Amino acid sequence: MAKYFAKTKSNKRSILFTLFSAEEKGLLGSKYLAETLKKEDLNLYLMLNFEMVGVPLINKDYVAYASGYERSNLAEKMNEYAGKKIVGFFPKVKEYQLFYRSDNYPFFKEFKVPSHTFCTFDFTNFDHYHKVGDEADIMDFEHMANFVNTFLPAVKQVINTETQEIKMNPDTK
């Protein structure tokens, strides 16, 4: 996606493509960036975090799930923009508190804007979650390319709408 937007320069809104470190040590990298951007008074619209997309979901009617699915209309709008269901609800997200354990959370905490992680790992399709064996050669690169190509039209729409259509749900804290 970063290469696409760098080449086409087709975005109306500014985009930051970042890589974070120290998620497992308390979201240190994303927390630092979120706090820094907040101090600089950045007008953040939303945060899209893509992680654990190295293997496809199995037996789902969507491509990826979003952490904090119910917190905003992001999933609904992404599906609308893509013209098909690409984002779904995965119940284990709540059970494992993944919204609070991924790099999206510091941005939600600082800015109170839609901040979600998209993921295709479902605790059954990958045996190396947070383990030493999580190496690049076991990832499904064809799936990852398809994932990017599937999400790209929706991401393009998100960053090019005339108004900020992605909104927090009113009862979200």
Give residue 154's domain range: 48-105+116-126+135-160
* β-pair partners for 117: 49
**Could you report the per-residue pLDDT of 32-46, keeping only the tens digit for each?**
999 999 999 999 999
Query: What is the radius of gyration, based on Cα positions, of the chain?
Result: 16
Residue 34 domain flag: no
The token pair that represents 130 in the structure block: 């947070």
The answer to whether 30 and 37 are in contact (CB under 8 A) is no
Residue 81 domain flag: yes
pTM score: 0.91
Residue 10 domain flag: no
pLDDT at 80: 97
Number of domains in the chain: 1
Residue 3 domain flag: no
Residue with tokens 């609800």: 89
